[in-house]
């Protein structure tokens, strides 16, 4: 099978998410790293791209130069990843979709709901793939949980409880560190801090595993470190359209919690639990029965979980491999074989609407608001 050509914007030297994309995209040999505009400093971006093995004429100084350089080539890239800071996602993603490229955009997809809806429309109009990197949803045991819910193995889901609460911004004496401060500055981060950064992974996960959309929410936001304008802690109550009750806690001041991402799904005939720090196990308890541990790679998993269990049983499955699963599904989608589960632009704009409505709800003392983007009401 011919390799697909892959380009990347952002993810330069020293960036947090850049290495995960490179490992993820290249893990299965389905993509070839072909072009990049990797850094906000043109020279540093060009130099690092060449250090990573890109040809000099495809090591671009900025994304505009990359778009101009790629769009008329016969061997142009098949997919571009946008892994720049949040405020730039919209214009880059839109420009590449309009030029006919498939895009994988980092979360949050956009800064506003209007921008998110625009991306959904442009992707529809151009017929290009626009995916969003909700990579946790690509862990095999998350797919197993979703398949079990879909198959009715825990009955109708009554309740979903999820957390993405870590303690890495809990030190008030470090609040002015530039790497931390921008996340709570509305000029840089937008309307929301911790919820838009981490909480949306948990909200997407709840909706993904329950196979249902978030319809309404009520939010309570707090800035526990006084110098912060945006929230560093949030509690969101929500309802899925089928009536499932949802609870979500997200925090960056929960000292002692590391990654702190977990989800529990409680149905009428059983419960499930998954924790990102032990991603290989899914905990299952049938009503009135014993708690069981379902292991990645074991016999009898649902097909979607088996397909993505690429490290054999007992070997640890890392975060980059969840990103690799996103690229694997993208390669299939570009080849015309759409894969169920790939988070698309619709998932991206649903998150943006939830963030904006949570901000409105928190300002209105937790009033219940419609969490859906206008285009999906
Ligand atoms: P970072 O600050 O560590 O790195 C950003 C990189 O983008 C740097 O190399 C910088 O030079 C480059 N850059 C900035 N502006 C650019 C521009 N206009 N053109 C080209 N390059 C540019 O940021 P980090 O943590 O890697 O985050 C990037 C994005 O990835 C954010 O949107 C973040 O929310 C998302 N992210 C997603 C994760 C996930 O689990 N899906 C995890 C971590 C980050």
- Out of 25, 83, 250, mutate this one to test ligand 1's pocket (max ligand atoms within 8 Å of CB): namely 83
Among the listed residues 215, 200, 214, the one whose alpha carbon sits nearest the alpha carbon of residue 134: 200
**Res 159: pLDDT:** 98
User: For ligand 1, atom 31, which residue shows the shortest CA distance?
Assistant: 85
Contact assessment for residue 373 and residue 116, using Cβ atoms and an 8 Å cutoff: yes
Looking at the structure, tell me whether residues 278 and 171 fall in a common domain.
yes
Residue 330: inside a domain: no
Helix, strand, or coil (residue 170):
coil
161, 293: one domain: yes
CA distance 162 to 205: 8
Domains: count for the chain: 2
As a whole number of angstroms, the distance between CA 94 and CA 200 comes to 21
Q: Are residues 303 and 169 in the same domain?
A: yes
Is ligand 1 within 6 A of the CB of residue 106?
yes
Nearest-10 Cα torsion for 101, 50, 182, 92: -20
- How far away, in angstroms, is 15 Cα from ligand 1 center? 6
pLDDT of residue 149: 98
- Residue pointed to by tokens 């000029």: 187
Does 57 share its domain with 173? Answer: no
Do 110 and 153 sit in the same domain of this protein? no
Asked, for residue 74, whether it belongs to a domain, the answer is: yes
Report how far residue 225's alpha carbon sits from residue 229's, in angstroms, rounded to the nearest whole number. Answer: 9
Asked if the structure places residue 322 within a domain, the reply is no
Q: Which token pair is 224? A: 């526990």
- Going from the C-alpha of 92 to that of each of 83, 278, 366, the distances in angstroms are 10, 35, 34
Q: At what angle do helices 89-98 and 113-126 cross, to 10 degrees?
A: 20
Q: Single out the residue of 119, 191, 103, 180 nearest to residue 346, CA to CA.
A: 119
Q: 135: Cβ below 6 Å to ligand 1?
A: yes
Last residue of a domain, one of 135, 154, 187: 135
CATH code of residue 284: 3.30.360.10
Ligand 1 contact, 136 CB (< 6 A): no
pLDDT per residue as tens digits for the range 61-113: 999 999 999 999 999 999 999 999 999 999 999 999 999 999 999 999 999 99
Residue 288 resides in a domain: yes
What residues make up the domain containing 78?
A: 4-135
- And the tokens for 288? 């009135």
If asked whether residues 150 and 290 sit together in one domain, one would say yes
Residue where a domain stops, chosen among 102, 135, 168: 135
ipTM value: 0.99
In this prediction, residue 178 carries a pLDDT of 86
Using most ligand atoms within 8 A of CB, pick from 10, 180, 202, 279 the residue to mutate for ligand 1. Answer: 10
> What pLDDT, on a 0 to 100 scale, did the predictor assign at position 310?
78
Residue 17 CA to ligand 1 center (angstroms) comes to: 6
pLDDT under 50 in the chain at which residues? none
Whether residues 52 and 143 fall in one domain: no
Q: Are 258 and 277 in contact (CB under 8 A)?
A: yes
- Asked whether residue 374 is assigned to any structural domain, the reply reads no
The tens digit of pLDDT for each residue in 165-220 reads 999 999 999 999 988 998 999 988 999 999 999 999 999 999 999 999 999 999 99
Q: How far is the CA of 134 from the centre of ligand 1 (A)?
A: 15
């Amino acid at each position: 099978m011919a390799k697909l050509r892959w380009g990347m914007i952002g993810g330069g030297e020293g960036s947090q998410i850049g290495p995960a994309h490179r490992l993820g995209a290249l893990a299965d040999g389905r993509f070839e790293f072909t072009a990049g505009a990797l850094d906000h400093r043109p020279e540093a971006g060009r130099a690092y791209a060449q250090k990573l093995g890109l040809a000099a004429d495809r090591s671009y100084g900025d994304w505009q130069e990359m778009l101009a350089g790629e769009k008329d080539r016969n061997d142009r890239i098949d997919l571009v990843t946008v892994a720049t800071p949040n405020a730039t996602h919209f214009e880059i993603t839109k420009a590449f979709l309009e030029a006919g490229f498939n895009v994988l955009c980092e979360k949050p997809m956009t800064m506003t709901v209007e921008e998110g809806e625009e991306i959904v429309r442009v992707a529809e109009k151009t017929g290009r793939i626009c995916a969003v990197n909700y990579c946790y949803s690509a862990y095999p045991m998350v797919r197993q949980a979703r398949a079990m819910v879909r198959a009715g193995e825990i009955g109708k889901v009554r309740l979903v409880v999820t957390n993405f609460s870590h303690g890495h911004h809990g030190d008030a004496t470090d609040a002015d560190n530039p790497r931390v401060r921008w996340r709570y500055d509305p000029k840089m981060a937008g309307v929301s801090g911790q919820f838009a950064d981490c909480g949306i992974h948990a909200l997407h996960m709840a909706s993904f595993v329950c196979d249902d959309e978030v319809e309404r929410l009520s939010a309570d936001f707090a800035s526990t470190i006084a110098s912060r304008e945006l929230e560093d802690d949030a509690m969101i109550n929500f309802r899925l359209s089928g009536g499932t009750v949802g609870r979500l806690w997200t925090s960056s001041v929960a000292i002692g919690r590391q990654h702190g991402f977990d989800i529990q799904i409680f149905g009428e005939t059983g419960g499930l639990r998954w924790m990102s720090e032990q991603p290989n196990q899914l905990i299952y308890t049938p009503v009135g029965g014993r708690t069981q541990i379902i292991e990645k790679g074991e016999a009898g998993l649902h097909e979607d979980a088996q397909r993505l269990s690429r490290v054999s049983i007992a070997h640890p499955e890392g975060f980059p491999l969840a990103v690799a699963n996103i690229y694997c599904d993208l390669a299939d989608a570009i080849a015309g074989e759409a894969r169920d589960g790939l988070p698309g632009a619709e998932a991206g704009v649903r998150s943006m609407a939830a963030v904006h409505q949570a901000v409105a709800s928190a300002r209105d003392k937790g009033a219940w608001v419609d969490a859906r983007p206008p285009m999906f009401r």
